[in-house]
Amino acid sequence: MIKNGKYIQCKKCGKNFYVKLSKIGKTKFCSMKCFVSKITKKCEICNKKFLVNHYRRNARFCSLKCFGESRKIKIIKKCLYCNKTFIIPPYKNKNGIRKYCSANCFQKDEIGKNNPNWKGKIKKKCLVCDKEFEVFVCRKNISKFCSHKCYWKSRIGKPTWNKDKKCPQLSKSLKGHIPWNKGIKCPQISKSHIGEKNPAWKGGKSFEPYSSKFNELFKYYIREKFNNICQLCGKTEKEEGRNIALHHIDYNKKNNKENNFILLCASCNARVNANRDYWTKYFKELLTNLK
């Protein structure tokens, strides 16, 4: 044993070589020759000997052909639960573990008394109705009632766990402390910073594809002008279930003049999308008649 390291044996040639303490458990070979050198193994199908690198020391076949042939081999087994014969490949039967044809058979055979971890049940007496009931061993100190009804009967007249318990109060240091925002109202934006006067104004991008004039106040004014009634079918706001929509007569969303708007319900607005030339003439005549 040396202060900064240790001598260990090479896994390939058996030679003792020096390794630092930090690399003990990581290095296994004395040189690159031993590391790169290959191991001889025997193929499980053709019994042919073949060379394999250390990182492939668990290889079982010499080639892909032998691997493909190993997949063709089938094992016939009998299910322990339903006695049905089933066929499986050898890789699914390592150490003879596969005993059931399906997950359902495995679950049915391992449930209850057939399970090796089964510890049975214990008989207990209900505290309310004195009826005997069975309980698993793990719940022998927990279960006291045979049903939920008996549990809730036992709770009648008893106080709840949080009765007479007060909420945790604030520490004495915060008593009488006035918060910094008490009596201060939310600061409103002054009129000098609204719209184009605001330094963050970007030409009304938030209103697109409409212009900045097409806002809530303008919509309210147009609806009041037409009494919030559809000008085609006469449907009211109550019948529609919402505000009647504003329709651009010339179909230009940036033309927000007062004489370019008319009120239409959702169904009429969809109907008007076809034959636009006809409807523009129709609504312009309708507006002149209303004046």
Residue-wise pLDDT for 55-86, tens only, equals 788 888 899 898 888 888 888 889 988 999 98
Whether residue 82 is contained in a domain is answered as yes
Contact (CB, 8 A) for 126 and 146: yes
Q: Are residues 219 and 243 in the same domain?
A: yes
Whether residue 198 is contained in a domain is answered as no
CA distance 222 to 246: 8
Whether residue 177 is contained in a domain is answered as no
Whether residue 242 is contained in a domain is answered as yes
Q: What is the mean pLDDT of residues 262-278?
A: 89
Q: What is the mean pLDDT of residues 97-109?
A: 86
Total count of domains within the chain: 5
Q: Is the pLDDT of residue 1 over 60?
A: no
37: closest CA among 11, 8, 18, 61?
11
Q: Are residues 249 and 274 in the same domain?
A: yes
Q: What pLDDT, in 10s, does the model give residues 89-102? A: 877 777 777 888 88
Whether residue 52 is contained in a domain is answered as yes
Q: Are residues 248 and 284 in the same domain?
A: yes
Q: Is the pLDDT of residue 124 over 90?
A: yes
CA distance 177 to 164: 27
Q: Are residues 240 and 270 in the same domain?
A: yes
Domain boundary among 129, 151, 173: 151
CA distance 60 to 261: 83
Can you give the residue range of the structural domain that contains 59? 39-72
Whether residue 180 is contained in a domain is answered as no
167 pLDDT tier (thresholds 50, 70, 90): low
Q: Are residues 241 and 264 in the same domain?
A: yes
pLDDT, position 192: 67
Q: Is the pLDDT of residue 140 over 50?
A: yes
Whether residue 164 is contained in a domain is answered as no
Spell out the residues 6+ positions from residue 220 whose beta carbon is closer than 8 angstroms to its own. none
Whether residue 239 is contained in a domain is answered as yes
